[in-house]
Amino acid sequence: MWTRRTVVSLMFLVAFVVGAAGTAAAQSKGIGVRAGVSAEPDQFYIGAHMNVKEIVENFWFRPNAEVGFGNHLTLLTLNPEFVYNLRIKSTQWTPYLGGGPSFLVGSFDGPNGHDTDTGGGFNFVGGIQQRKGFMAEIKIGAFDSPDFKLGVGWTW
């Protein structure tokens, strides 16, 4: 049985593990937090992300975890995403494009009481980020992923 408190606790545990892995990994380029809104389901979400490893030049593995609240649902998403940083002449801002699978666990009140459901999806992501600092992104989801997400965050 997933309660809101359990999911929030799990989210903080995921953020801690991501943060601990970031300090342990020599090639880590930053960890961060994120928040935003989603459509279908209509929710507010919070989360954490980490730039883990540059696979090839400008192509990064950047997993993130998010917990959404609202629409009579608590939704935990684990997103092992990849992003490609588009190089432009600006030294302040870097646009990026990417995507990846999404693993979802939803907790809701159903006809038989409290219920939990799992699913899989895929996210297409695009955004802009400062080297160490502010980021803003849009996600478009397929399958069980939320249809649309608009978020902002900060990377250290």
Average pLDDT, the chain: 87
Based on DSSP, count helices (H) and strands (E) in the chain, helices before strands: 1, 9
Please tell me the predicted confidence (pLDDT) of residue 27. 44
Please tell me the predicted confidence (pLDDT) of residue 24. 41
The residue type found at 119 is G
pLDDT band at 22 (very low <50, low <70, confident <90, very high): very low
Domain range for 16 is 4-155
Q: What is the CATH number of the domain that holds 136?
A: 2.40.160.20
Domain count of the fold of the chain: 1
- Residue 109: both structure tokens together: 């009140």
pTM of structure? 0.81
Q: How far apart are CA 47 and CA 34, in angstroms?
A: 5
Helix (H, G, I), strand (E, B) or coil at 41: coil
> b/e map of 121-147 (b: 16 or more CB within 10 Å)?
bbbebbbbbeeeeebebebebeebbbe
